[in-house]
Structure 1
Amino acid sequence: MLLVAPYRGGVVFFLQSILYFLPGKFLFKKTDIKSSLKSLLGVCYCVTGLVFLVSSIVCFGFPGYALSQDSAVLFGIIPGVSFCLFLVSGFILLMLAKERIDMQVLEIQKTLEKSEVRFQQIVETSIEGILIFDEHYQITFANKNMASILGYTIDKMLGKSYISFFPENQLDIYYHQESLRKEGKDSVYECCLLRKDGLIHWFLISAKAILDDFGRFEGSFAMLTDINERKEMELLLEETNRQLTELSNRDSLTGIANRRCFDATLEREYSRLIRTKSKLSIILLDIDHFKEYNDYYGHVAGDDCLRQIGRVLANYISRSVDLAARYGGEEFACILPDIDIHSAVEVDEKIRQGIQDLKIEHKKSPASEFVTASFGVTTVQYSPKVSMEDIIATADKLLYKAKISGRNKIEFAKLN
C-alpha cells in the first residue's frame, strides 16, 4: 500500500525530512553562542526538513487532497523553497569554510610569531655570534653578542660589508670562503676579524649557504665562536717554540748558528744537491794560536774575540740560503749552496781580511801581531761516490794544510 501514490511520495518526503533534521540537530547541539553561521545553517536544515515533513504528513494524512488538483500548488512550492534553502545553505557552508581557513591562518600566524619570539630569544641570549648576509655579503642580521665582541651596536653593523672586517693578510680566506658559499658549499674555518678599535679578534666560523628554491645563492648564515683567548695562547706557544728552536740552533756566545744547526743544514743541502745536481761549497776556518791567546789574555778576552769573529762571519755570509756557524771551540764553518770554488774563495778572502781588520792584539802569535785565521775551502759537484763526511773531511784537510804552511792562509780545492 505504501508503494501506491500518494503514499510513495510521502515516504520520500519523510526520508528527506530526516536527512535534513539530523544535521540540523547536530549543528544545534555542537554550536556555541559565538558560532552564528552554524546556528543559521542549522535553522536552514530544520526549515527544509519541516517543509518535507509537512509534505509527508499531507501525503499520509490527506491522500485525497494529495491526489487532487489543489495539491499541485503546495507540491509546486516545495522544490522552489528547497532550492532557495539549498542555495542559502551552500553560501553558509562557504562562509563556514572561509571562517575555518581564517582561523587556521590566524593560528599559524600566532604559532609563527611565537616561534619567531623564541628564535629571537635564543639568538639574543646565545653566547655565539650570529651573522646573516645577503647575496652581496652585506650584513642583514647580527645578534647582540656579535656586535658587542666587535665593539659595534647592532644598527651600526647592519649594511656593512663582510670584507671590511678582514685584515689584509686574511683576504685570501675571505675570497675562498665567498667562492665556496656561492657554489652552495658549507664550511668551518678559523680567521680573525677587525674590531672597531682596530684590534683583531679570532673566531671559529661555521658558515652555511642560503639558496632559493631553484638552488641560486641568495645569502649565507654564519655562527661565530669566540676563540680569541685560545688562539692567542696557540700563537704565543708557537712563538715560544720558534724561539726555543732558534735558541737550540744558535751558539750562545757568538750569536751565529751552532754545530747542531750546521749538521742539520748540511744534511738538508746535501739532499738538495742530490736532487738538483748543483754545487755546494764548504768553508772551515780556525783561529790561529787561539790557545795561546786564551792563556795570555784570559778567557774573558778570548770570548770577546770569538764574538767579534762571529760578527765578521755574519756580515759576509749574508745570503738567506747561506749559513755561518761555530763548529766547535775556536773553529767556525760556512755553508754556501750553489757557489763555485772561485766565488767561495772570494767570500773566504773577505772573511780573512775582515778578521785581520779587527786588529785584535795577539802578542803570542808567530803568524801576526793580530788575531788571524786559517781556511780550508772545498766545492763539490754531486757525485754518488761523495758523501757528507767526505766533504767535511776534504775541507778539514785543506784547513790543516793552511795551518802547516804558515797560517793566515786559504787553501782550496774541488772535490770530484
Structure 2
Amino acid sequence: MTEFFKTQTDYIFFFYGLAFMVMAGACLAMREEERRALPWRLLSLFGIIHGLNEWMDLLARNFIKNEIFTLLASVFLLISFLILVGFARAAYRRVLGKGPGRWIFLPLLLISLIGGLLFGWKGFGVFTRYGLGLVGGLWSSYVFFRAAQVQDRRRGFWLKSVGIGMGLYALAAGLVVPGIAIFPASFLNTENFLKWTGFPVQLLRGILAVWVTVAVTVYSHLSLWQTTEFESLVRRSRYIFWGAVFCVGILLGSGWFWTELLGRRAQEDIKHEAGDRLLTLSSQLLNRIRDWEKSVMIMAGSNWLYPALTSKKEVDLERANLVLDRYQQNLKASVCYLMDESGRTVASSNRRSPTSFVGNSYAFRPYFLNASRGVLSPYFALGVTSGERGVYLGYPVRNPRGRIVGVAVIKGTLDNFELELRRRPFAFFIDPHGIIFLSGQPAMLMHSLWPVTSEVQRNLIESRQFGGRPFPAVLDKKFKQGDLISFQGIEYMISFIPVGGEGWAVAIWTPIAQIWNYRLFGILLTLTLCVLIIGAFVGGQRWLEASYKISLSESRFREIFENSPEAIFIQDSKTKQILSTNPMMTEWLGYAAEELIQMKPDDFQDPEQQEGLERKFRKKDGTWVDGLITERRFPFQGQEAILTIARDISERKQFEKVLEQISFLDGLTGIANRRRFDEVLNQEWRRCLRERTSLSLIMADIDHFKIFNDTYGHQVGDDCLKEVARTLKETLNRPGDTAARYGGEEFAIILPDTEPQGARRVAEALRTRVEGQKIPHKNSPVAKWVTISLGLATITPTPDQTSDQLVKASDRALYQAKADGRNRVVIS
C-alpha cells in the first residue's frame, strides 16, 4: 500500500488542494447573518492560498522542477499560515472581546526565519509549520469551541465539529513535517508517517479539510433548514447539498480510478515505444557484428595468411599484410591483424602507425583464447595499445591439414552505432556488470550504471578490458526492467534488451513526463467535473438573484443607450446587420433610424480603415468624419451582438495633423528639423537595407557664418539661414530627397537610392546655387558672397552597420572640405 501511495502523490495533492478550495468557497458562501459572528472571509482566503500552495507542490514535484517555483510555493505556504493566524486572532477578539495585537506575528515569523537560516528553504518550511501552522490551527480550533458556547445545541454541535477538524488539521500539518536534521522533524515527519501508517499525511489533511467544509456548510444552512416555513424549499435545499456531497465524493473516487488508468496506459505506451527503439538498436548492432563475423571467417581462410604464420618469410608476411589491408579498407574496420599461436602479432593493417600492433602479444585477450579453441565470439573492449573502443572478432587460421596455426582478428569500429545512441541522449551499451561501453552521454563512458563490488571492479581493472580506472556508479542500486528512476531531477523508465549471449545489453532511459501528462489530464478532467457539480449547486441558489439582476441591467442599459451623448449602434455579430441605433447616431451621421437599420457598418465606414479603434464615417451628405470606436460583444434579443460606441474626434484629428506638421519643421527656416531628419534617415536606412540600395548623405555648413553674424547682425544672419535653406530645398528635384536643418548653420540632405556620382552632382548643384544667390559676405576669407562647404558619404547598408556610421562619414568629409579651403565638395 505504501508503494501505491508513492505513485499517487499527484492526485493526493490535487485532492488536498481542491478540499481547501471548496472550504474557501463554503466560507465565502456563508449566509449574511452568519458572517458577523466570525471573520469567515479570512478563513476563505486561507483556504484559497493554501489550496494553491498544494497545487504548486503538485506541479513542483512532477512538472515544473524549478528552484524558483519551489521557493514561490514556500512563500505561499508562509502567507497562508499567516492568514490562518490572522483569522484566529481576529476571531478571538470578536468572540472574547480582547486579544493580542498585531505584534503576535513577529515572534511567529522569527521562528520561520530561524529555520531558514539554520536549514535553508526546507527548514524555513518546517519551522513555518511549527510556528504558524500549528499555532494558527490550534488557536482557530479553540476559537470555534468558544464561539459554539453561545449557539443553540445543533448549531453549536456543527461549530464544534469545525473546531475538531481544525484542531486535527493543525496537528497533521503542524507536527508531521518534511524531515530535517533536528528533533522532532527527524523523527515525526511525512516519510516516517507513511512508513508507520501506510497512509500519506497529505491525504489525511485533505480529508480533514473536507470535514471542515461539510461542517461549515451545514452550520451556515442550519438556520434555513430549521425553519418550519417553505418545507419543500428546505427539503430541496437539503437534497441538493447532500446530493452534491455524494456526487463530488463519487466523482473524486472515479477520478482517482481513471487517472490511475490513464497513467498505466501511458506507462504501457512508453514500454512499447522503448521496446521498439531497443529492437531497432540491437538489430543494427547484431547485423553489424554478423557481417564482421562472416568477414573474419573468410579472411582467416585466405591462402595468403597461413604461410606467413608457418614460414614467416618476408614475402609471405607482405602478402598477409596485403590481405589485411584490403579487408580493413573494404570493411572500414579499425584494424585487421594476424596473431601466431603464442598470441604475438606478426602482421597488421596498422603496421605503419605509431600504435602498430606488430610484435605485441595479446594472448591474454578472450577473443584470442576463444579463437585458439575454434570458438568465434565478439569481445568489446578498449584497445590495450591504441586505447580506442571497439569489438574484436578472432577466428582460427588453419594450415592445409586443418591444424590451428594462428588467429585472424578484425577490430570493428562502433562509431556509427554510437551516433545512433547519441540521437537518444540516455541510451547505453553496457556489459554484464553495468559498465557503460557506449553511450549517448559521453561523460558517462566507462562509468557503471549501478554500483559494482570491489572484487568485480578489481577483476575488470586487471583484465584491462575497460582501461585501468575505477568505474563510478551513476545510480545508487541495480535496476530491473521497467523500473522508474530519478536522475538530475527528471524521472525515467529503464528498458533494456540483451545483445548476444554473454550478458551485454542495450539500455535506454525514457522520460516519463507522458505518464504525468496523462495523469494531469485525468486530474484536470476530475477538477472540471467537480467545478461543474459545485457550480450547479451554487448556481441553483443564485438563479433567481441573477434573473433580477439581468432585468435591472437591461433597463439601465436601455436608459443609458437612449440618452448617451455618444453615437451608439448595435449590429448582429454574424451578418453585421445593424439592429438598433440611438438618437445621437442619427443626429451625427444625418441618417434616419429606419435607414440605419437597413444598413451595415461597411455602408458608412471607410473600407480601407478597418483595423484599430479609429475609423472614418461617411455622413449622409457625403462628408467624412473621424470617430474613435469601442466594441463589446453581448447578448441582445436572444442573439450575440456587437455594441459599438463611436465618439466624434474630427476636431482632434485636424489638431493632431497641424501639431505633427509643426513638430517636424524647423521654426526658423521652414524645412525639416533635426527630429524629422533622424526619423527620415532611419526609415530610409531600413528601406535601403531591405532593398540593398545605396543611401547618400550630404552635410553642408555655411562658410564663416560667425563672421557673417558679427558683420551683419543676428537678424540678417537669420535671413541668410532662411535663404540658404530655401535654395537647398528648391534645388532638390526628387520627392524622396530631404533637406533638413541639422543644427546652427549646418544642414543635411538625405538622398535615397543615390550612387556617389549622382550624389556629387547634387552636392555641386547645391554649392553652385547657394553661391549664385550672391548673398553679400564682405569679410569672408573665401569669397565676397555666402558659400557653403559640403561633405558627402554613400553607404549600401548591411545588417552590421548603423545609420550613425553614415552621419560620421559625411561629417568627416565636411571637416575635410573646410580644411581644404571651404566652398567645395569632398567625398568620404
Q: Which of 581, 604, 620 is residue 166 of structure 1 equivalent to?
A: 604
- Pick closer, same or farther for the CA change 1:145–1:361 going to 2, 3 Å: closer
CA contact (8 A) 2:671 2:741 kept: yes
**When the two structures are superposed, what TM-score results if normalisation uses the length of structure 1?**
0.51
What letter is aligned with 2:562?
A: S
- Pick closer, same or farther for the CA change 1:369–1:194 going to 2, 3 Å: same
CA contact (8 A) 1:123 1:130 kept: no
* Equivalent in the alignment of 2:766: 351
Find out whether 1:127 has 2:563 as its counterpart: yes
CA contact (8 A) 2:674 2:740 kept: yes
CA contact (8 A) 1:132 1:220 kept: no
* Equivalent in the alignment of 1:200: 625
SS of residue paired to 1:282: strand
* Equivalent in the alignment of 2:502: none
* Equivalent in the alignment of 1:391: 806
CA distance in 2, matches of 1:270, 1:237: 30
What letter is aligned with 1:391?
A: L
What letter is aligned with 2:653?
A: L
Find out whether 1:225 has 2:649 as its counterpart: no
- Pick closer, same or farther for the CA change 1:364–1:132 going to 2, 3 Å: closer
**When the two structures are superposed, what TM-score results if normalisation uses the length of structure 2?**
0.28
CA distance in 1, matches of 2:803, 2:602: 53
CA contact (8 A) 2:689 2:796 kept: no
Q: Which of 748, 766, 788 is residue 373 of structure 1 equivalent to?
A: 788
Deviation at 1:289, TM superposition (A): 2.3
CA distance in 2, matches of 1:162, 1:132: 8
**Larger displacement relative to structure 2 (402-411 or 146-155):** 146-155
CA distance in 1, matches of 2:658, 2:714: 32
Matches within 5 A, 1:80-91: none
Matches within 5 A, 1:42-57: none
What letter is aligned with 1:166?
A: F
Find out whether 1:292 has 2:707 as its counterpart: yes
CA distance in 2, matches of 1:400, 1:190: 48
CA distance in 2, matches of 1:153, 1:280: 56
- Pick closer, same or farther for the CA change 1:220–1:256 going to 2, 3 Å: same
SS of residue paired to 1:254: coil
* Equivalent in the alignment of 2:276: none
Find out whether 1:278 has 2:693 as its counterpart: yes
Deviation at 1:265, TM superposition (A): 4.2
Find out whether 1:408 has 2:798 as its counterpart: no
* 1:127-168 Cα deviation digits (max 9, x unpaired): 3645678x998878766564445445445x27854468515x
* 1:24-50 Cα deviation digits (max 9, x unpaired): xxxxxxxxxxxxxxxxxxxxxxxxxxx
Q: Which of 242, 247, 254 is residue 660 of structure 2 equivalent to?
A: 242
Matches within 5 A, 1:317-356: 317=732, 319-356=734-771
- Pick closer, same or farther for the CA change 1:272–1:210 going to 2, 3 Å: same
* 1:164-187 Cα deviation digits (max 9, x unpaired): 8515xx12468x9xxxxxxxxxxx
CA distance in 2, matches of 1:158, 1:286: 61
Deviation at 1:343, TM superposition (A): 0.6
Deviation at 1:370, TM superposition (A): 1.6
* Equivalent in the alignment of 1:50: none
- Pick closer, same or farther for the CA change 1:160–1:283 going to 2, 3 Å: same
CA contact (8 A) 1:191 1:204 kept: no
Q: Which of 730, 737, 740 is residue 315 of structure 1 equivalent to?
A: 730
CA distance in 2, matches of 1:237, 1:396: 37
- Pick closer, same or farther for the CA change 1:206–1:311 going to 2, 3 Å: same
* 1:364-401 Cα deviation digits (max 9, x unpaired): 12332221112221222346886655534433343333
Larger radius of gyration between Structure 1 and Structure 2: 1
CA contact (8 A) 2:698 2:790 kept: yes
SS of residue paired to 2:790: strand
Count matched residues: 270
CA contact (8 A) 1:165 1:193 kept: no
* Equivalent in the alignment of 2:349: none
Gaps of at least 5 residues in structure 1 are 1-114, 177-187, 213-218
Find out whether 1:257 has 2:257 as its counterpart: no
SS of residue paired to 1:255: coil
SS of residue paired to 1:242: helix
Percent identity between matched residues is: 34
CA distance in 1, matches of 2:588, 2:678: 49
- Pick closer, same or farther for the CA change 1:159–1:225 going to 2, 3 Å: closer
Gaps of at least 5 residues in structure 2 are 1-550
CA contact (8 A) 2:578 2:601 kept: no
CA contact (8 A) 1:124 1:143 kept: no
What letter is aligned with 2:647?
A: I
CA contact (8 A) 2:581 2:597 kept: no
CA distance in 1, matches of 2:586, 2:616: 15
* Equivalent in the alignment of 1:80: none
